[in-house]
């Protein structure tokens, strides 16, 4: 009977050998291949394989619509050294599900392809906050809100907005700097908001966010836009 400590030694040797015999393409295979989408700008991201410590690798990107058999090359990302690839123009239908995949080569070796999960822009894109413009009229403020522009254009060649694809509600908050206190001043679908009854000789800041009703998601808040109310 083999001594217990010898059996453990043999087990360690076998496990070590199995690791060393692992095909090169497995350790080179790109990791965490996934779409990251903001306002329908769809960027494919990935990380190097587990055995890579240098940046002399080349990556190759393909994409397709779910259900298609044929993958298409992304020419601008065919042999790239970057760890991302802009596939916005290849994924322009926000309601279609897409796949992307990445392969790498290095020193004469190449990896297998790594594919993304199924990606549908309409379901998964994240929202930026609205742009905020504040104009003072006496002791009132007019707040104009503009949702982020998208990479899509309508038949007249003009950019479309998120309102073309989602039901949006805007929330406006006003902060009285002298009191360091904020409160909600508006919630609704209007993009032009009047805030009345402000205190003279005070400073106010306005921030806004959007709420996407379909999925009950909220954008981050915008940067503060501040004005001074004169005496």
Entry pTM: 0.80
Residue 100 CB-half CA count within 13 A: 28
Q: For residues 94 and 136, what is the distance between their CA atoms, to the nearest angstrom?
A: 38
- Three-state SS for 111-179 is CCCEECCCECHHHHCECCCCEEEEEEECCEEEEEEECCEEEEECCCCCEEEHHHCCCEEEEEEEEECCC
Q: 180: closest CA among 226, 133, 219?
A: 226
Residue recorded with tokens 């805030």: 195
Q: What is the DSSP letter of 126?
A: B
pLDDT for the residue 157 = 65
User: Taking the mean position of all CA atoms in its chain, how far away is CA 230?
Assistant: 41
Q: Where are the domains of the chain?
A: 23-124, 131-229
In this structure, what token pair is assigned to residue 80?
Answer: 């790239």
3-state DSSP assignment of residue 121:
helix
pLDDT tens, position by position, 175-225:
987 666 678 899 999 999 999 988 888 899 999 999 999 888 999 999 999
What would be the CATH architecture of the domain defined by 131-229? Sandwich (2.60)
Q: What are phi and psi of 86, to 5 degrees?
A: -80, 110
Domain 23-124, CATH: 2.60.40.10
pLDDT tens, position by position, 157-176:
677 888 889 999 999 999 98
């Amino acid at each position: 009977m083999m001594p217990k400590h010898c059996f453990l030694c043999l087990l360690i040797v076998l496990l070590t050998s199995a690791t060393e015999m692992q095909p090169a393409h497995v350790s080179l295979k790109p990791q965490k291949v996934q779409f990251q989408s903001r306002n329908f700008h769809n960027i494919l991201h990935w990380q190097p394989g587990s055995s890579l410590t240098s940046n002399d690798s080349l990556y190759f990107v393909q994409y397709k619509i779910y259900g298609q058999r044929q993958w298409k090359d992304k020419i601008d990302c065919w042999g790239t050294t970057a760890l991302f690839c802009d596939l916005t123009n290849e994924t322009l239908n926000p309601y279609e599900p897409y796949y992307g995949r990445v392969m790498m080569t290095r020193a004469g070796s190449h990896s297998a392809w790594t594919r993304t999960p199924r990606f549908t822009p309409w379901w998964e894109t994240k929202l930026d906050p609205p742009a905020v413009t504040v104009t003072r009229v006496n002791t009132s403020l007019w707040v104009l809100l503009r949702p982020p522009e998208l990479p899509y254009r309508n038949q007249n060649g003009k950019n479309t907005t998120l309102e073309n694809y989602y039901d949006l509600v805007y929330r406006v908050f006003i902060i009285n700097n002298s009191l360091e206190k904020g409160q909600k001043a508006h919630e609704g679908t209007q993009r032009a908001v009047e805030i009345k009854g402000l205190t003279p000789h005070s400073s106010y800041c306005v921030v806004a966010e959007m709420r996407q009703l379909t999925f009950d998601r909220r954008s981050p808040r915008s940067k503060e836009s501040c004005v001074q109310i004169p005496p």
